[in-house]
Structure 1
Amino acid sequence: MAVNIENVEAFVYVIHCGSFNKAAEALYLSQPSVTARIQSLERDLDCRLFDRQGKAVRITEEGRRFLPYAQQLLLTYQKGKLHVNRKKSLPEEIKIGCTVTVSNYVVPELLPRLTAHFPNTHYKFVTGTTDEIVGKVLNKEVDIGFVRGVNHPNLHSVKFYEDPISLYVYEDHPFIGMERLSVEQIARQPLVFFECGALDWLRIHRIFENLDHPPNIRIQTDNSEMAKRLVLGRTGISFLPGLSVRQEVASGKLVPLRMPETDGIALQTNVISNPGEHGQFLNEIIAIGQQFNAQ
């Protein structure tokens, strides 16, 4: 049985993007084309890969079992393509723009994997705000950008990572072990507010909007590393993205506290580029992003 690699690619993109529509946008195809590719793959495999309920799409158990093989097929194909076309298609240097958070917490894990796949390429990183990085990609000052979850009509944009926001306190804080925390209790604590300008961040503010008194915000900063260190120093407690505190949580120096009010709030990082450029790097970055989200 011969399996069409484009059908496998469509399958992986539907799972990564979360819908047929978004997969079609990422692949620069129409939705019927993506649907036709999935149906063709289902005929080849003689099973259903997705359950469709209205607009909602859910992967079946057969699809879940096939996914790791599909990813490996794509990776093997991309490696073969890379080997054949390495000299004529891979740049000697690739410039990557990213936000400070990505440079601090994503790049150290991303870069070793990129260099393993593209050992002859050199990398140059620049940091900036999302708007700055978007401008640099548009002006071709950088090749690929990592930005907050934005879409631009002139850029190819794909979700890379979703980073949940939670409330973090230092070890031995009196809130640890409490079954239920009220918004009023949190509002009275000294708060270190990290803000990155993302729309989802407004939802953190809305948690406190119905209180009689404003929250006790002692310090505001746009730097997650600074906010984290202030919590470690017991200056206050803070709502922080999970990537920035992974090591401290693992060592017990910071403790996440679950609040129903923050469920579903996350910072989304997208990978952007000019359409049709640096496809090999983007495919590898997206594959790494799938591994990040699975952790």
Structure 2
Amino acid sequence: MVDFKALETVVWIARLESFRAAAEKLNTTQPAISVRVAQLEQELGSQLFDRSGRTVSVTPTGRQVLDYADRLLRLRAEMLHTIADRSRMQGTFRLGVAETIVHTWLPAFLERMSSIYPNLALEIEVDISTNLRERLLHQEIDLAFLVGPLSAPSVLQRPLCRFPVRFFTSSALKSDATEISLEEISRWPILTFARNTQPYVQVVELFSDPRLPSPRIYASSSLATLVRMALDSIGVAVIPTAIVTAEVAAGRLVELNTPASLPDLQFVAAWLGTPDRHTLEDIVTLASEIASPTDQMAG
């Protein structure tokens, strides 16, 4: 008799085009995955996957099975989502997070998650949004909180919050001028996000005017490092205001008043439309409720 575990296995092999990757996704071994497929093929009397190439491909019969499997798994997930007690939900949930969120509302989110899903194990990866997007598309994480919106058609997404980006420096470097030009700022190293990120590109474009001195940009994937460098008077940090509220309140960092401006960082929750997405959508709703007050800090 065909069981849901076998159907889930077929779906993930087809998505990942690999028995090994499906085994990692389902927290089991590759031999166990092979046994499930072999038993299902024997029961159906037809081969589901072509293993002759470098990657696994789905046979015509396999595509028919995938269509039914997807519908059955979605109905099962909907039933469990509607009826099951969330406090009993078990398993591992893989979350990718941009560092700006780590320094703002992630602790409150994790506290709520622990309360609602006490038996759900969390694996949290902190990385730049470019890498998180790739890890999501390769199904190495289940959900990502990252800079968006994303253009990938297979990704579902929902806006979470936005953060204004401003210029900060230590009080020791603060000029007495009421307004500071980009030319004056460019005399100092510019401390900002890592290369291949949206904020980095925007900073480079801001200082691309040929009339300005060529800026020295110190890029880092660690916002904590950028804040430390600004506190040590190494340069001018171009970072979200939300991560330096304590330093500004204490007078250790000062926001520079400049006519130049950068777009707010827009963050989204992104996930793939898998059959079990109901739980993901609940978690996204929870994140949205916690993150939304952050928008009041923008502008």
Higher mean C-alpha deviation, range 232-241 or range 252-261: 252-261
Give the share of equivalent positions with the same residue, in percent.
18
| Alignment deviations for residues 140-162 of structure 1 (CA, whole Å, 9 cap, x no partner) | 33221112214221011112221
1:288 and 2:290 correspond: yes
**Residues matched between the structures, number:** 213
Once residues 253 and 182 of structure 2 are traced to their aligned partners in structure 1, the CA distance between those partners, rounded to angstroms, is 20
Q: Tell me how far 1:230 sits from its aligned partner.
A: 0.8
CA contact (8 A) 1:133 1:147 kept: yes
CA contact (8 A) 2:129 2:197 kept: no
Please report the TM-score for the alignment, with normalisation by the length of structure 2: 0.61
1:171 aligned partner? 171
CA contact (8 A) 1:82 1:280 kept: no
1:187 aligned partner? 186
1:279 and 2:281 correspond: yes
Q: Secondary structure at the match of 2:85?
A: helix
Higher mean C-alpha deviation, range 238-247 or range 150-159: 238-247
| Alignment deviations for residues 112-143 of structure 1 (CA, whole Å, 9 cap, x no partner) | 23323333433211233334323333343322
Q: Tell me how far 1:108 sits from its aligned partner.
A: 2.5
1:59 aligned partner? none
Once residues 105 and 88 of structure 1 are traced to their aligned partners in structure 2, the CA distance between those partners, rounded to angstroms, is 26
Higher mean C-alpha deviation, range 112-121 or range 140-149: 112-121
Question: Alpha carbon RMSD of aligned pairs, Å?
Answer: 2.9
Given the superposition, is the C-alpha separation of residues 139 and 191 from structure 1 closer, same or farther in structure 2, using an over 3 Å criterion? closer
Q: Tell me how far 1:87 sits from its aligned partner.
A: 5.0
Once residues 242 and 162 of structure 2 are traced to their aligned partners in structure 1, the CA distance between those partners, rounded to angstroms, is 10
Structure 1: where are the runs of 5+ without partners? 1-80
Within-5 A mapping of 1:1-295: 85-86=84-85, 90-151=89-150, 152-175=152-175, 178-195=177-194, 197-217=196-216, 219-262=218-261, 265-275=263-273, 277=277, 278-295=280-297
Once residues 295 and 130 of structure 2 are traced to their aligned partners in structure 1, the CA distance between those partners, rounded to angstroms, is 24
Q: Tell me how far 1:105 sits from its aligned partner.
A: 4.2
Whichever of the two has the greater Rg, that structure is 2
Given the superposition, is the C-alpha separation of residues 131 and 265 from structure 1 closer, same or farther in structure 2, using an over 3 Å criterion? closer
Once residues 174 and 209 of structure 2 are traced to their aligned partners in structure 1, the CA distance between those partners, rounded to angstroms, is 24
Once residues 113 and 292 of structure 1 are traced to their aligned partners in structure 2, the CA distance between those partners, rounded to angstroms, is 17
| Alignment deviations for residues 181-215 of structure 1 (CA, whole Å, 9 cap, x no partner) | 12221122343343453335433223322243524
CA contact (8 A) 1:167 1:257 kept: yes
Output the amino acid matched with 1:260.
P
Q: Tell me how far 1:291 sits from its aligned partner.
A: 2.2
Once residues 186 and 127 of structure 2 are traced to their aligned partners in structure 1, the CA distance between those partners, rounded to angstroms, is 31
2:36 aligned partner? none
CA contact (8 A) 2:88 2:117 kept: no
Output the amino acid matched with 2:131.
E
Given the superposition, is the C-alpha separation of residues 138 and 221 from structure 1 closer, same or farther in structure 2, using an over 3 Å criterion? closer
1:32 aligned partner? none
Once residues 107 and 224 of structure 1 are traced to their aligned partners in structure 2, the CA distance between those partners, rounded to angstroms, is 15
Structure 2: where are the runs of 5+ without partners? 1-79
Q: Tell me how far 1:171 sits from its aligned partner.
A: 1.8
